[in-house]
Structure 1
Amino acid sequence: MALTLTLFILITITVTITTRVLATGNWTLLHANIGITAMHMQLLPNDRILIFDRTDFGLSNISLADGKCREDNDDLVLKNDCTAHSIEYDVLTNSIRPLMVQTDVWCSSGSLMPDGTVVQTGGFNDGDHVVRIYDSCDKCDWKEIKSGLINRRWYATNHILPGGRQIVVGGRRQYNYEFYPKMSVSENAYSFPFLVMTHDPKLENNLYPFVFLNPDGKLFIFANNRAILFDYSKNNVLRTFPEIPGGDPRNYPSTGSAVLLPMRILKGNVGVVEVLVCGGAPKGAFRKALNGTFVRALRSCARIRVSDPNPKWVMETMPLARVMGDMLLLPNGEVLIINGASAGTAGWEKGREPVLHPVLYKPDNMLGHRFEAQTPSTIPRMYHSTAILVRDGRVLVGGSNPHVYYNFTNVRYPTELRFEAFSPSYLDPSLCGSRPKISPDSQTQFRYGDQVKVRFMLSGHVDPKSLLVTMVSPSFNTHSFSMNQRLLILDGVNTATPIGNSKYQVVVTAPPSANIAPAKYYLLFVVYKQVPSEGIWVQIS
């Protein structure tokens, strides 16, 4: 009771200091049992979510369709398994379809490709060299390429590149990177000394590195407590950034999270490029957790302006300490920090004290006034939990399984099969009148630099100074990092032309190049006074 009271006081004080809260979001339980624990999630451009879990947990809680069974002599638990370890969740109908993944996808990675298919790579055991392809349709299922990777990839990070290929970076005991698809059968993996430099021999602390595509076509890569700007085409480090003050690690198992903050395009350029890294665990926390001591997680965030000639990390303090938290870009440019624990680290049974309160981060506010605590969930989301933004602006949350197998009884944090949605404050019913509605006659396919007509409904006079059009890349989420996540604020909103009763048109300029927006599907939103419309799917090519 004392702990709960202390937490409540902390939240109240923090919110009061930062800003007045009109609405703090709400939670909805979508499914009491989706059958699997959601370790990996990817939103698809048909409003379905591909969800999957490791195959060697034993039986899941959902059967494969049509009496199918998976035969795998390499599986460490079940050679014959008639349960599913992957599902497709339909956001629009709140329905589930079981899928069959053949090899172990535990702690893998992936990306949405330009044509809307998911290419997912690596995993554990018989899955560590496998490439899997998923092209969603009513009866589609996983396709697997057994030796699609050169090296085993377990805890690696993927990013889509301007040319349409993925780069696959690192993984456990893999200090290299490779590409998929291959340009030729003789294409090799490439040595990456940065992962050797950031590797802790006992704890690693550089798995699932944070990778972001910079607008110059290079990669910002963060591992452990430092970052570089990397030219992957020449295997060359262009810039080494300062170590985060304090030197605490931020990558698995000291799992923090990171986002590339919203990028505003002006006259064909992105002027300011910033990365925000939040949470994690102090040095030595994993080793102490092994011995039963769960130290307080980090409360710090570090923000760096990558585009500056002499960039420095600026430190900020979150309302709550958090390890294993997810950071998601919302359509209005705010950042949601959700899930995780306030003590311990990632790993089996290594986390304690779940953080039930999401926190909003408002990057344009003054330093010291950027955080807002939100309405708490009632469900702990510990190790192996996930979160993903969907088209209507909600954040769907699943997973949490800190056990080697599924375990529902007599444990501190049972395996979690419940699936829920967090609705940020911009979805509060009191704001309905301020929420734009994009018209179906808006343009949905365009090329780089095109003038794009976006039409929307909104009652009353529209002030273009309060209007934004944003594009959000759907991400692949696992282990507290959303791969390929980026948000662009499009150029050209200087007038909103009335074209009918409460109907307006704005003309914006499409991103100028694949360095800024790799060719693929995006969610496009109209945002008015920080309230976003429901998004529409657009494709840039």
Structure 2
Amino acid sequence: MINFLLLSLSFSIYHSLISSQSLLPFGSSQGEWQLLHASIGISPMHMQVLHNNKVIMFDRTDFGLSNLSLPGGRCRHDANDTALETDCTAHSVLYDIDTNSFRPLMVQTDTWCSSGSVLPDGTLVQTGGYNDGDRVVRTFNPCMNDDCDWVEFPQYLSRRRWYSSNQILPDGRVIIVGGRGQFNYEFYPRSIESSSFSLFFSFNFLRDTADEYENNLYPFLHLLPDGNLFIFANTRSLSFDYNQNRVVREFPPIIDGNPRNYPSSGSSVLLPLDEFKGIEPEILVCGGAPKGSYYQATHGVFISGSSTCGRLKVGQENPSWVMEQMPIPRVMGDMILLPNGDVIIINGAELGAAGWENGRGPITRPVLYRTYTERIDWRFSVLSASPRPRMYHSSVVLVPDGRVIVGGSNPHVYYNFTNVEYPTDLSLEAFNPPYLSAEYAPIRPRILSFDNNIGYGKTFSVRFTVQQYSTERFLLSIRIVAPSFTTHSFAMNQRMVVLKMNSNSNIAGIPSTYEVSVLGPSTAQIAPPGYYMLFVVHANIPSPGVWVKIG
């Protein structure tokens, strides 16, 4: 059990402890795995959490039959399909977090290696893919009565978007960057409909950072608090003003020179933006594969993945990468921000690169990265192992109850369950991070009431209960987390904001109940409009989250 005597330390001693996060080392807990379904019928390479507590998951459509039939005798007819012109199986499902159930969805065009973002009204906009899907926009509007499905808009995109990345912007538009052979970007919705203007914009940085084997697919995009985009491709990165189509500044290349984007497939997050302590945007990039790994893997030689992480404070006058060493080399790993600001690094392999049959040595043990610990040697800890390898085309998302949902893994051209080293995996798991351990129940907050709609810079209140509460102000924080569209080791649109608090107090006459006055995010550049998961974090332990709408 946690030593609650620590909670009564003086402010100065406490502040030193909290800065190193030694207050809560998560005891002996390494987290727990839970099998949700032995099969959901598809192997989801794409996932998106929606604000009605459902997760939309989908695969590609051009590999033949899945293991889940479409209902009501529905079939997909596609003369352009490279595997099966008439297909009566589903390639997308809608998973219900609350009931642990799922239902099939109908997607018509090929979604292979596509991208997505959620609009401010909660609509998922899903872009591109392969073959007849490479210029398609698909939308999915969350519904409560389970009669919603995909709606598709063929040829909406101006260019082929296969392996592109998306980012929601402060004005509610989505920017779509890159893709195979595409050194340009465009917007959804279209900014200009007139044929006398270009609907896409050239971006030479993508051309400059690509080469024959390593390429720079699924570039890492992060919206910075100044409204510009941080864009990372292979080893180089810059700040980009997409409104003026100009490079604001280029940052130093990551120090070890290992490529990080597909097919080298590291991962990246924008670390939490803290309005309480002051905004200092910082990027974390971990994993990847040395130059030449993809070529070698296609010839049966599997090189060890990268074991390094780099942190870059992009707002500094002369920023430089600070390198750290992970306990396990990792390629094709996913990085997800947890509600307390830590990062979980999960899935992937020790050897090889992304692509069909290109990975070896699956890593079944996630790694926890403690973002705020000042001592680098305390930052990483290895968590409990899953019995299931999650290799190429696996995916992961954070859900409001604090768990991490994990699915996918299909390193083959088609679904293949026999006579292969890593069979196609149709199961769905949940990982419970250490903070969900029962030993933290006394200090775990639970939200009782809150404001659903939060304005920029506007005061709102959150009421919560916790059995053993510390009045130390630095032990409490209110955080919002944008749900990610995750595919190919990159959680697009993921961000966390630590909000400013005005005051907090005990509610008279109600035991263990407290109310905190909070300021909404200051600008749309810090938190673009839309739905977020809101968490109360007490002594590094988060509450179950609730959905709020910003802006």
TM-score by length of 2: 0.93
Paired amino acid for 2:202: S
Aligned 1:278-289 pairs, distance under 5 A: 278-289=286-297
Return the alpha-carbon distance in structure 2 between the equivalents of residues 380 and 74 of structure 1: 33
8 Å contact from structure 2 (residues 442, 468) kept in 1: no
Match of 1:56 in 2: 62
Paired amino acid for 2:399: V
Match of 1:411 in 2: 420
Paired amino acid for 2:497: L
Paired amino acid for 1:434: I
8 Å contact from structure 2 (residues 443, 468) kept in 1: no
- CA shift, 1:148, in A, is 1.1
Query: How many residue pairs align between the two structures?
Result: 521
Return the alpha-carbon distance in structure 1 between the equivalents of residues 403 and 383 of structure 2: 14
- CA shift, 1:204, in A, is 4.0
- CA shift, 1:368, in A, is 2.0
Q: Render the CA deviation track for 1:282-331: whole Å, top value 9, x for unaligned.
A: 01111111111101111000110011111000000000000000000000
Match of 1:514 in 2: 524
Q: Render the CA deviation track for 1:456-498: whole Å, top value 9, x for unaligned.
A: 0112343232111110000000000000000111111653333
| Secondary structure of the structure 2 residue equivalent to 1:266 | coil
Match of 2:338 in 1: 330
Match of 1:430 in 2: 439
RMSD: 1.4
- CA shift, 1:19, in A, is 6.1
8 Å contact from structure 2 (residues 214, 259) kept in 1: no
Residue 476 in structure 1 maps to residue 482 in structure 2: no
Q: Render the CA deviation track for 1:226-280: whole Å, top value 9, x for unaligned.
A: 100000000000000000112110000000000000110038xx43110000000
Aligned 1:90-105 pairs, distance under 5 A: 90-105=96-111
Instruction: Pick closer, same or farther for the CA change 1:140–1:461 going to 2, 3 Å.
Output: closer
Q: Render the CA deviation track for 1:30-61: whole Å, top value 9, x for unaligned.
A: 00000000100000000000000000110000
8 Å contact from structure 1 (residues 113, 119) kept in 2: yes
8 Å contact from structure 2 (residues 275, 499) kept in 1: yes
Return the alpha-carbon distance in structure 1 between the equivalents of residues 367 and 35 of structure 2: 19
Match of 2:538 in 1: 528
Q: 1:247 aligns with which of 238, 257, 275?
A: 257
Percent identity at matched positions? 55
Paired amino acid for 1:490: L
Match of 1:22 in 2: 28
Aligned 1:286-297 pairs, distance under 5 A: 286-297=294-305
| Secondary structure of the structure 2 residue equivalent to 1:316 | strand
| Secondary structure of the structure 2 residue equivalent to 1:431 | helix
Residue 195 in structure 1 maps to residue 206 in structure 2: yes
Q: Render the CA deviation track for 1:115-135: whole Å, top value 9, x for unaligned.
A: 001000000000000000001
8 Å contact from structure 1 (residues 279, 299) kept in 2: yes
| Secondary structure of the structure 1 residue equivalent to 2:193 | coil
| Secondary structure of the structure 1 residue equivalent to 2:339 | coil
8 Å contact from structure 1 (residues 274, 305) kept in 2: yes
Paired amino acid for 1:102: Q
| Secondary structure of the structure 1 residue equivalent to 2:376 | coil
8 Å contact from structure 1 (residues 271, 307) kept in 2: no
Return the alpha-carbon distance in structure 1 between the equivalents of residues 434 and 529 of structure 2: 31
Residue 136 in structure 1 maps to residue 142 in structure 2: yes
Q: Render the CA deviation track for 1:323-361: whole Å, top value 9, x for unaligned.
A: 000000000000000000000000000000000110000
Match of 1:13 in 2: none
Instruction: Pick closer, same or farther for the CA change 1:206–1:313 going to 2, 3 Å.
Output: same
8 Å contact from structure 2 (residues 228, 241) kept in 1: yes
| Secondary structure of the structure 2 residue equivalent to 1:66 | helix
Instruction: Pick closer, same or farther for the CA change 1:461–1:172 going to 2, 3 Å.
Output: closer
Match of 1:497 in 2: 506
Return the alpha-carbon distance in structure 2 between the equivalents of residues 496 and 89 of structure 1: 38
Return the alpha-carbon distance in structure 2 between the equivalents of residues 211 and 461 of structure 1: 38
Residue 362 in structure 1 maps to residue 373 in structure 2: no
Return the alpha-carbon distance in structure 2 between the equivalents of residues 108 and 165 of structure 1: 18
Aligned 1:137-176 pairs, distance under 5 A: 137=143, 138-176=146-184
- CA shift, 1:536, in A, is 0.4
Return the alpha-carbon distance in structure 2 between the equivalents of residues 99 and 59 of structure 1: 14
| Secondary structure of the structure 2 residue equivalent to 1:495 | strand
| Secondary structure of the structure 2 residue equivalent to 1:372 | strand
Paired amino acid for 1:69: C
| Secondary structure of the structure 2 residue equivalent to 1:432 | helix
Return the alpha-carbon distance in structure 1 between the equivalents of residues 470 and 377 of structure 2: 31
Match of 1:36 in 2: 42
Match of 2:396 in 1: 387
Return the alpha-carbon distance in structure 1 between the equivalents of residues 46 and 301 of structure 2: 29
Residue 89 in structure 1 maps to residue 120 in structure 2: no
| Secondary structure of the structure 1 residue equivalent to 2:429 | strand
Match of 2:275 in 1: 265
Return the alpha-carbon distance in structure 1 between the equivalents of residues 55 and 454 of structure 2: 25
Paired amino acid for 1:108: S
- CA shift, 1:528, in A, is 0.6
Match of 1:3 in 2: none
Instruction: Pick closer, same or farther for the CA change 1:197–1:454 going to 2, 3 Å.
Output: same
8 Å contact from structure 1 (residues 19, 372) kept in 2: no
Aligned 1:295-310 pairs, distance under 5 A: 295-310=303-318
- CA shift, 1:22, in A, is 2.5
| Secondary structure of the structure 2 residue equivalent to 1:287 | helix
| Secondary structure of the structure 1 residue equivalent to 2:336 | strand
Q: 2:360 aligns with which of 329, 352, 357?
A: 352
- CA shift, 1:139, in A, is 0.6
* 304-313 or 180-189, which deviates more: 180-189
* 182-191 or 78-87, which deviates more: 182-191
Match of 1:9 in 2: none
8 Å contact from structure 1 (residues 167, 177) kept in 2: yes
Instruction: Pick closer, same or farther for the CA change 1:461–1:109 going to 2, 3 Å.
Output: closer
8 Å contact from structure 2 (residues 214, 292) kept in 1: no
8 Å contact from structure 1 (residues 469, 493) kept in 2: no
8 Å contact from structure 2 (residues 506, 512) kept in 1: no
Paired amino acid for 2:459: Q
Paired amino acid for 1:212: H
Match of 1:316 in 2: 324
Residue 216 in structure 1 maps to residue 226 in structure 2: yes
- CA shift, 1:442, in A, is 1.3
- CA shift, 1:185, in A, is 1.7
Residue 456 in structure 1 maps to residue 464 in structure 2: yes
Return the alpha-carbon distance in structure 2 between the equivalents of residues 376 and 141 of structure 1: 35
